[in-house]
Amino acid sequence: MKKITHLLLALSLACTLPVLAQIKTTSGLPSAVTDVFTKAQVPMSDVAILVKEVGVTEAIISHNIEKPMNPASVMKLVTTYAGLELLGAAHTWKTEVYVTGDMRATTLKGDLILKGTGDPKLTVERFWLLLKQLRERGLRTINGDLILDKTFFAIPEADPNKFDGEASRAYNVVPDALLLNFKAVRFQFAPAIDGLSVTISPDVKPTQLEIINRAKLVDAPCGDWRERIKSDIQTPSATELRITFTGNYPRSCGERVWNISLLDHARFVGGVFATMWTDVGGVWKGNVKVAATPREAKLIAVSESLGLSEVIRDINKFSNNVMARQLFLSLSADIDKQPATPQRSYDVVRQWLARKNIAAPELVIENGSGLSRIERISAANLGKLLDAAWRSAVMPEFISSMSLVGVDGTFRRRARGEVVSGRAHMKSGTLNDVRAIAGYVLAADERRYLMVMMVNSNNAIFTQAAQDALLQWVYARSLPAVPPVVIN
């Protein structure tokens, strides 16, 4: 029965993948893959590929595997695996609330302090619940300032324009010990109930923010709707922020979301606090200051994050850059018990890899997210990392954090309907001159293979088809040859 089932699977694949199971190769590389590089005019010297069975020394495909390559967001696999082993799958982050001065009836005659410890996912929902808790415990009026304690990270205020000049893009948000809502406003676009106009609703509205909606609802295919809507961000003064939306929004789009990064961290937290404190019935008219928590301050409330095993699902499945950077910095803050810096976290990762007998002399980690021009790792050492992760106690949490091809995350629309759909856990990486993919494939023979492909080339943008071809080949390569069907 088992042989019959296997033969039926092989026959099915013969129809859908006529060349992959018996593919010709050049230097060990499937021709379906090399053909993509030839058409894209990408020299094979710009490509690194490793395919091997998990736990087996000998590689099936080994091409340029020692060459240092920019992995783009695939570097998140290093950061998240290190986090799981060094911090623990149940690790959480706490945002603490302190007060100074005297509390009389419902009035605080002193300062309210928010102390962050690098929580990667302090959402507006959790922040609102924290403020609601303060109100329910009797605090209404704050006659003092809002103090933001960011001393958990020892990093200067970075320039979000540095990477590509797109400061308002959510992927460019820089880390902060008191990161709130990814420092972004989630604008929801939708046709109004009367069907005559488009509504634009923010998930949170900092008190400084004014929204001017000049977008028009039109009958047109949805397509790339963002290209039809323009945003103009103006800051008339230090206490004012204006964003104007113009253009046409297609009715066929239904509800869509646009995340936009606004303000610096301190002003964003202060603006959101002012709005939400008023919403829960509080009163505050003080200033926002960044400073360490005074020794005499009294702890009055704590908001605790989800466990790390949950947090890394957002990092890997949806390739969240700022969350990865928060986790990377948390490594040194937790291990060294000192304010975190990128260099300290880099040292922590290198020492951790050394204990696993992964020397990785080529490794360069700038921020742990892959949003970098200088980060480097070889396919060989990325493969060693994936092998080590498979043997690790945190293997289930690590693998489940990666996108399931054709099912969820950044791969939800990839390989749908293909035989590999639902059989591979992958992480992708994309920059202008980088296309990368790494992860695990459960093949037709029920063996698990690890796969790494990194392309560093001006034409890398044209090589996604090579990733898809290799995924299918790895899945189908072990199937027996199917004899031709003769029809009399």
CATH number, residue 85: 3.40.710.10
Which of 279, 304, 329 terminates a domain? The answer is 304
Which of 304, 332, 364 terminates a domain? The answer is 304
Q: Domain for residue 176, yes or no?
A: yes
Burial label for 401, CB within 10 Å (0-12, 13-18, 19+), is: buried
pLDDT 10s digits, 193-214: 999 999 999 999 999 999 999 9
* Average pLDDT of the segment spanning 150-158: 91
Q: Domain for residue 62, yes or no?
A: yes
The pLDDT score that the predictor gives to residue 418 is 86
The pLDDT score that the predictor gives to residue 157 is 78
| Residue listed under structure tokens 């103009």 | 232
Q: Domain for residue 485, yes or no?
A: no
Residue 204 shares a structural domain with residue 291: yes
Residue 146 shares a structural domain with residue 285: yes
What gap in Å lies between CA 279 and CA 211, rounded to an integer? 18
pLDDT 10s digits, 316-340: 999 999 999 999 999 999 998 999 9
Which of 304, 326, 349 terminates a domain? The answer is 304
Q: Which of 17-31, 87-101, 128-142, 417-431 has the lowest mean pLDDT?
A: 17-31
DSSP letter string, 394-427: THHHHHHTSEETTTSGGGTTSSTTSTTTTSEEEE
Q: Domain for residue 487, yes or no?
A: no
Residue 360 shares a structural domain with residue 263: no
* Average pLDDT of the segment spanning 344-359: 97
What gap in Å lies between CA 262 and CA 170, rounded to an integer? 9
Residue 363 shares a structural domain with residue 472: yes
Q: Domain for residue 483, yes or no?
A: no
**CB–CB of 42/457 below 8 Å?**
yes
Higher-pLDDT residue of 108, 418: 108
The pLDDT score that the predictor gives to residue 4 is 42
Residue 398 shares a structural domain with residue 461: yes
As a whole-number percent, the residues of the chain with pLDDT over 70 amount to 92
Q: Which domain holds residue 161?
A: 94-304
Residue 350 shares a structural domain with residue 229: no
Sheet holding 229-237, edge to edge: 209-218, 240-250, 229-237
**CB–CB of 25/474 below 8 Å?**
no
Residue 59 shares a structural domain with residue 161: no
Residue 105 shares a structural domain with residue 237: yes
Q: Domain for residue 146, yes or no?
A: yes
Residue 123 shares a structural domain with residue 271: yes
The pLDDT score that the predictor gives to residue 8 is 43
pLDDT exceeds 90 at position 28: no
Residue 316 shares a structural domain with residue 288: no
pLDDT 10s digits, 281-302: 999 999 999 999 999 999 999 9
**Residue 478's pLDDT band (boundaries 50, 70, 90)?**
low
Token pair in block for residue 254: 């239904």
Domain count, the chain: 2
pLDDT exceeds 60 at position 486: no
pTM for the predicted model, two decimal places:
0.91
Residue 63 shares a structural domain with residue 80: yes
**CB–CB of 186/170 below 8 Å?**
no
The pLDDT score that the predictor gives to residue 351 is 97
Q: Domain for residue 486, yes or no?
A: no
pLDDT exceeds 60 at position 21: no
Element (H, E) at 147: strand 146-149
Distances 415 to 40, 88, 116, 176 between C-alpha atoms, Å? 20, 33, 41, 37
Residue 260 shares a structural domain with residue 145: yes
Q: Domain for residue 242, yes or no?
A: yes
